[in-house]
Amino acid sequence: MSGVVHTNTAELFLVGQDASNMMGDPAGVCYPTSTAEVQEAVRWARAKGMTFIARGAGTGLAGGAIPTAGSLVICLTKMNQIRSIDVARRSAWVEPGVLNADLSRRTSRHGLHFAPDPSSQQSCTIGGNVANNSGGPHCLSEGVTSAHILALEVVLPSGEVCILDAENSLFDLRGAFVGSEGMFGIATAIEVRLVQNPPHVSTMVVGFASVHEGAMAVSAIIAHGIIPSALEMMDAPITRAVEEYVHAGFPLDAAAMLIVEIDGLEHSVSHGSLEVKDIVHRFGATSFRVAKSSAERALIWKGRKTAFGAIARIQPNYYLHDTVVPRKKLAEVLSQVSIIAAQEQLQVMNVFHAGDGNLHPILMFDKRVDGVMDRVHRAGSEIVRVSLEAGGVLSGEHGIGLEKRDFMRWMFTENDLLFQQKLRSAFDPEGISNPHKVLPRGSGCADMSSIPPGSWV
């Protein structure tokens, strides 16, 4: 085993980071190609008294994939086979390294797709999606990753392999594992649910003169009993940045725009779209456009999903936040966010899953400027605070990782955290799988030992 553990500085540098701004301290990295090799890697680490961490594509934003405590990084990108597709049952067994977008591409000839569609879907892995219980625009009607995982093959921290599904245990261990951020063991095969491609789709782009009116329209659409397949908002700064290079025909004069998509059978789509049109006009829509072809729809989604790429045109660095608030509080919290950014003299842009109240304020900065990181972090914790005050939660899809670990007490009591720790202990009594994440420091709950350099919360 030691022969296949790489320890050269260049590789360790790469697997020491993810899409957050942190840097970890990996002791080695290996690339298993089978469940047996993952087992071997876990047992090897155990024998050496080392901790270990599963890694997918490293696109996580909360530092979940940052190795701590000199962990062995077990990188799953070489386990990228689709083992089987059951068209009749609408399910597939896949390996954790399969890329999210590849799975939908490979199942499209059966008229099926994997519903969770994070903006990072071209590069993130199904294993990472499971670990973070990831979401995406189309999770509004379809539900997040957890709703699409039927069973899991897992290498436990003990080195044993087991299947977690709805049939072989009383407790929903499958459900408990999804979203466990690599701290309950390593998923080595995943049975996913596949969803039928919709026969009809209507994609609407709506402009508003203010963010407030756009947010009110979002609440009104849901309150009216319409559950669009996606309901996304972009504010003016990000819309302009995206439009400059995607040319999706986004309204440049609007203060906020919504992408509303309705899919399904013919009449529900046509009636639903008419109702949406009616509602957004009542809330002061300044422009309304329906995609006339699938090419036009694809361009709209390209604009939405590559929005983060556009940021580089404005500032060299960004910090993408992720909180959830009740839908009725969207307008209020968005205006608080812009005040917070102004106080810290930071530019902010918003592109987010409005339909489920999932905010993604993006703070933009140049990290070479003296003291800017302090302002970014102050603004970040203020955003978390106002979201919680509005009745919201810490994270809607990026997870807690290292980033929000020490905010956990803002949302949970010591006893809530103790029971979360009990659940973790049942899977990982020694705390060796991705240690130091999620549960806050300084309580009986947290894994003991050092904090990785570069972690700043």
Ligand X SMILES: Cc1cc2nc3c(=O)[nH]c(=O)nc-3n(C[C@H](O)[C@H](O)[C@H](O)COP(=O)(O)OP(=O)(O)OC[C@H]3O[C@@H](n4cnc5c(N)ncnc54)[C@H](O)[C@@H]3O)c2cc1C
Q: Which residues contribute to the site for ligand X (CB under 6 A)?
A: 18-19, 53-61, 64-65, 76, 96, 118-120, 124-125, 127-129, 131-132, 134-136, 181-182, 186-187, 308, 397-398, 434
Among 54, 178, 259, 330, binds other proteins (CB under 8 A): 178
Out of 83, 105, 313, 422, the only residue in the binding site for other proteins (CB under 8 A) is: 422
Footprint of other proteins on 433-452 (CB under 8 A): 438-439
Q: Are strands 285-290 and 200-208 parallel, antiparallel or unpaired?
A: antiparallel
Work out the angle at residue 36's Cα, subtended by the Cα atoms of residues 62 and 105, and round it to the nearest 5 degrees: 55
Report the residue from 23, 162, 209, 451 that binds other proteins according to the rule CB under 8 A.
162
CA distance 191 to 210: 44
Helix 294-305 / helix 236-246 crossing angle, nearest 10 deg: 120
Residue 70 has, within 13 A of its CA and on its CB side, a CA count of 9
- Closest CB to other proteins among residues 91, 286: 91
Which of ligand X, other proteins, none has residue 58 at its interface (CB below 5 to 8 Å by kind)? Answer: ligand X
Q: Which residues contact 2 (CB under 8 A, 6 or more apart)?
A: 44
Question: Contacting other proteins (CB under 8 A), which of 205, 310, 320, 408?
Answer: 408
Nearer to other proteins, 154 or 205 (CB): 154
Other CB atoms within 10 A of residue 372 CB: 17
Residue 70 in the binding site for other proteins (CB under 8 A): no
Specify the stretch interacting with other proteins by CB under 8 A; choose among 22-30, 35-43, 102-110, 399-407: 399-407
Nearest residue (CB) to other proteins, 172 versus 244: 172
In this chain, which stretch among 31-39, 94-102, 161-169, 365-373 interacts with other proteins, using CB under 8 A? 161-169
CA distances from 323 to 91, 359, 385, 393 (A): 31, 5, 10, 6
For other proteins, which residue of 7, 196, 294, 345 counts as binding (CB under 8 A)? 196
The per-residue b/e assignment along 147-175, b for 16 or more CB within 10 angstroms, e otherwise, is ebbbbbbbbbbbbebeebeeeeeeeebbe
Block residue for tokens 């030691």: 2
29 interacts with other proteins by CB under 8 A: no
Q: What is the rounded distance in angstroms from the CA atom of residue 144 to the CA atom of residue 163?
A: 21
Phi, psi of 242 (to 5 degrees): -70, -45
Query: Among residues 186, 66, 191, 76, which one has the least CA distance to residue 125?
Result: 76
Q: Which is nearer to other proteins, 139 or 432 (CB)?
A: 139
232 DSSP β-pair partners: 259
265 binds other proteins (CB under 8 A): yes
- Among 5, 206, 307, 325, interactor with other proteins by CB under 8 A: 325
How many Å separate Cα 117 from the centre of its chain? 9
Question: Residue 151 or 269: which CB sits closer to ligand X?
Answer: 151
Task: Give CA separation, 146 vs 130, 193, 198, in Å.
Answer: 7, 10, 21
| Rounded to 5°, angle at Cα 61 from 93 and 40 | 45
Residue 303 interacts with other proteins (CB under 8 A)? no
The binder of 221, among other proteins, ligand X, none, by C-beta within 5 to 8 A per type, is none
Residue in 264, 335, 372, 441 binding other proteins, rule: CB under 8 A: 264
Structure tokens at 175: 């459900």
Residues 455, 63 contacting (CB under 8 angstroms): yes
Sole window of 32-40, 120-128, 244-252, 411-419 interacting with other proteins (rule: CB under 8 A): 411-419
Among 100, 146, 203, 273, binds other proteins (CB under 8 A): 146
For residue 307, how many C-alpha atoms fall within 13 Å in the half-sphere facing its CB? 24
> What's the min distance (Å) between Cβ of 438 and other proteins?
6
Name which position in 84, 425, 443, 450 contacts other proteins (CB under 8 A).
425
Q: Which is nearer to ligand X, 280 or 300 (CB)?
A: 300
CB of 454 to other proteins, least distance (A): 23
> Is 143 a binder of other proteins (CB under 8 A)?
yes
Contact of residue 205 among other proteins, ligand X, none (CB under 5-8 Å per partner type): none
The residue length of the chain stands at 457
Q: Take residue 388 and report the two structure tokens written for it.
A: 């919680």
Q: Which is nearer to ligand X, 39 or 134 (CB)?
A: 134
Tell the smallest beta-carbon distance from residue 80 to other proteins (Å): 24
* Smallest gap from residue 285 Cβ to ligand X (A): 25
